[in-house]
Amino acid sequence: MLCILPDELLLITGVTGHVGFAVLIHALRAGHTVRCAVRSEAKAAFIRSRPQIKALDLPRARLNFAIVPDITTDGAYDEAIRGVSSVIHVASPLATADSVPRELHQEYFIQPAVRGTLGMLEAARRAGTVRRVVITSSIVALASVDQLEGRERRPTAVQPTERAGFRPEPYESEFAAYAASKVAALKGAEAWIARERPAFEVVHLHPSFVIGRNDIATTTAEAMRGTNAVILATLRGKKMGCNYAGATVHVDDVARAHVQALTPAVPGNRGYILSTRARWNDAKLIAKRGFPEAVERKLICSSGSVGTVNIEFDASETERVFGFRLQPFEDQVRSVVAHYVELRLRRPALSSIGSSMAMNQPLRPEIAAV
């Protein structure tokens, strides 16, 4: 059970994304007082308007916002971090289906990821009140793109202590540029920690493909963004011409781990993998079994296909330290499909099995949605 002092303040970035919003909801339910760093007042208003936020019926003091228009500028987080005890830094650029020109990969992916992370660490050091910073990294910082895409065989499970090598430009895809940004951000953070020896601890979390209900999405088009798109596109009949690593994690588990990583019970200055094994095409049978009426009404189908790269990430230490089992691929798929059907029908999704809906990009999707 979390022990939260009444005057403690938690800063969270990236709350307008899939993972970040789930982290916010989990933190508020756990009793935290939260300040969200967002790019504009409009973003703050959007978060305040979400039904999941309104349902919590929070006192105004429990949730506030700091406007940070550009995370790459010097001192970007200095005001936002005033009086903060803990930080969860989720914000980072994501792959967006090859819409960013190659000549802008450095500016769009690498620079914001590195400067945003190092800027947050510097702000935490200057603030003098921060005890722990939790950073959303990714499995792409641990294993190479060639291994993730199946061009290089990986015979053993990837460990949280491994590090992928940094690949300079040019990048063949947004996914490769995204991966390079996560590698650079992790390497930069670890070098900064070794050099500066801050008074606070840092925890890096390494999610794989994040799957599950996206409460930021209000339309089926928005639901098709992110890694959920791999499942939903398959269930809409798309035959994809590429393979994806068979490594996924439920968004609820990612959110839970981020909040739990703030506690002293989780050793700091370490990284933890968040991943389960998956076969992407299994989503078709899971959906057919769990949502027969949706299949009958042709809201989803089983004619699509996607290949799976056999690669394993060892999350055993994560489960031991955090004390819970990561939800399997079946639960992840149910969560995604339930939300998609709900959006199609504009009412609670029809499922004979039920779905993981408690709390809760595409097809070069992000690994850690933000």
Q: How does strand 276-277 pair with strand 270-274?
A: unpaired
For the segment 27-47, the average pLDDT, to the nearest whole number, is: 98
Nearest Cα to 132, choosing from 75, 77, 84?
A: 84
Residue 69 in this model has a pLDDT that exceeds 80:
yes
For the segment 12-26, the average pLDDT, to the nearest whole number, is: 98
Residue 343 in this model has a pLDDT that exceeds 80:
yes
Per-residue H/E/C for 67-111: ECCCCCCCCCCCCCCCCCCEEEECCCCCCCCCCCCHHHHHHHHHH
**By three-state DSSP, how is residue 145 classified?**
helix
Backbone φ/ψ region at 23: left (φ over 0), alpha (ψ -120 to 50), beta: alpha
Q: What is the mean pLDDT of the chain?
A: 91
Residue 365 in this model has a pLDDT that exceeds 60:
no
Estimate the share of the chain in helix, then strand, then coil, as percent rounded to the nearest 5: 40, 15, 45
Whether residue 302 contacts residue 284, with contact meaning beta carbons closer than 8 Å, is answered with yes
Torsions phi, psi for 161 (to 5 deg)? -85, -5
Q: Is the pTM of this model over 0.85?
A: yes
* Burial tier of 289 (Cβ tally within 10 Å: 0-12, 13-18, 19+): middle
Give the list of residues 6+ apart from residue 143 with CB closer than 8 angstroms, or none. 154, 158, 162, 164, 311, 313
pLDDT (0 to 100) of residue 103: 83
Whether residue 92 contacts residue 181, with contact meaning beta carbons closer than 8 Å, is answered with yes
Select 10-218+247-277+311-328's CATH number: 3.40.50.300, 3.40.920.10, 3.40.50.720, 3.30.230.70: 3.40.50.720
pLDDT (0 to 100) of residue 366: 39
Per-residue H/E/C for 212-265: CCCCCCCCHHHHCCCCHHHHHHHHCCCEEEEEEECEEEEHHHHHHHHHHCCCCC
* Burial tier of 346 (Cβ tally within 10 Å: 0-12, 13-18, 19+): exposed
Domain limits, the chain: 10-218+247-277+311-328
Question: Which of 111-120, 192-201, 356-365 is the least confident region?
Answer: 356-365
**Confidence band, pLDDT 50/70/90 cuts, at residue 328:** very high
In the chain the beta strands, taken as DSSP E runs, fall at 10-13, 34-38, 63-67, 86-89, 132-136, 201-207, 209-211, 239-245, 247-250, 270-274, 276-277, 305-309
Dist. CA 171–CA 105, nearest whole Å: 8
**Confidence band, pLDDT 50/70/90 cuts, at residue 360:** very low
For the segment 5-11, the average pLDDT, to the nearest whole number, is: 80
For the segment 250-259, the average pLDDT, to the nearest whole number, is: 99
Q: Tokens 């940004």 belong to which residue?
A: 181
Residue 176 in this model has a pLDDT that exceeds 90:
yes
**By three-state DSSP, how is residue 179 classified?**
helix
**Confidence band, pLDDT 50/70/90 cuts, at residue 7:** low
Question: Which of 141-145, 230-234, 351-355 is the least confident region?
Answer: 351-355
Q: Tokens 């650029």 belong to which residue?
A: 93
Half-sphere exposure of 232 (CA within 13 A, CB side): 28
pLDDT (0 to 100) of residue 93: 84
Residue 6 in this model has a pLDDT that exceeds 60:
no
Q: Tokens 């990986």 belong to which residue?
A: 154
| Cα 274 → chain centroid | 10
Amino acid sitting at position 200:
F
pLDDT (0 to 100) of residue 104: 87
